[in-house]
Chain A
Amino acid sequence: MNATLLITIGVTLISSAVALSLRNLIHSVLLLVITWIGICAFYLIFNAEFIAFTQLLVYVGAISMVALFAVLLTRVAPSTNQRNKQSVTRFIYALITGLSLFSLMAFAVLHTDSPKEKVEALPATVYSIGKELTEEYAPALMITGSLLTLAILGSVLLAAHSPQSKENS
C-alpha cells in the first residue's frame, strides 16, 4: 500500500463518483475517461503493461468516442434535468440498493479464504499472453471476436434506413 496506489485508487473512485453526480452528460463522460486512465495506472502498478495500454487504446481511444457520440446524438434538453421531489426519493432508494450490494460484495471478499502457500505469478509478458491466447484459449478468442462482429453488424443493420420507411414518410 504505497502512495502511488493510494493516489490512483483515490483518483479513480473520486472521478467516477463525480461523474455520476454531474448534470452535464458530456462532463460526466470526460470524467469517466479519467476513471479509465486511473484503471490503466492501476494495471501499470501491478506490472501488467500489455493490458494497461490495451485498456488505454480501447477505452480512452475508442469507447469514449462511442459514449460521446451516443450522448451527442441523443441530446437531452437541459430543461428536463430539473430536481424534483421524485428524484429525491429515487436517490434514497438508489443509495440503499447500492449500499446493500456493496456490503454483500465486501462480505464475500473479506470472508474468502486465501490460499495457504504462496503461488508464483505467471509471467505476464506479451509473448506469454499471445501464446496462451492462440494455443490454450484460442476458441474463447474466436468466439469473442465473432460475437463482437455480430454485434457490430446487428447495430449497423438496426441503424440503417430501410427503403420502405423512406417511401412511407
Chain B
Amino acid sequence: MYGFGLIRGLIVTGKNFVQSFYNPSRYTTQEYPEVKSTPPEAYRSFPFLVTDSETDPLGALRCVACLTCEKECPAQCIFIEKSKDKKPDANGRLQFYPTQFIIDSSVCMSCQICVEVCPFDSIKMDKVFEVAVSSRFENLLLTRDKLTKSNQYFHLISPSEAQEVDDRLAAERKVAQEKAAAQAKAKAEAAALAAQVKPVPAP
C-alpha cells in the first residue's frame, strides 16, 4: 500500500534484466534458425509411410492398401490406388500394394487417426516442421515417393515407439513362423501317415 510492492516489482524486473545476460534459465529464447529446438517424442507434423528396406524402399512398403486410413481420415485428405497384382510381404504372404498414395498436406490436420487405425503399422507421424514450399497446389500434395521413409529413420525420430513396433512385429512374425512350422510338421506327418497307409491294393 505504501509503494513497497512497486519496489519489489522493480527488483524482479531488474534481476531479470541483469541475469538475462549470463544466466540461461533467465533467458529462455532460442534464436531460430541458428538454434533449432528438438520437439518432444510425441510431437507430430505430417504422416509418412514406413518401409523396411533402404535399398528398395518402394518394394518393401509395409502398406497393403487396405484403404482403412483413407476411410477413417476426418479431413479426407488421403487418396490411395490399390494395385491389381499381389506381392509377398515380410511374412511371406501375398498382399496388395498401393500404386498411388497421396496425402494433401494442406488439408491434413495431424490428428494421427490414420496412424491409430492402421493394422499394419505402416503409416506413422513425422516430426519435420520446416515444410514451407513456394507453390500452393503441386508441392503440397505429398506423393508416395515423398512419403516413403525407412524404418531406420523412424528409429531416429521416435526411438521408443519404433522399438515397440519392431518388437511387436518380430513377435508376430515369430508366432506366424511357429504356426507355419507347426502346420508344415502336421502336414508332413499326415503325408507320412498317408504314405504308410497307402500300399493296400484294391481287389
Instruction: Indicate if A touches B (C-beta under 8 A).
Output: no
List residues of chain A with CB under 8 Å of any chain B CB. none
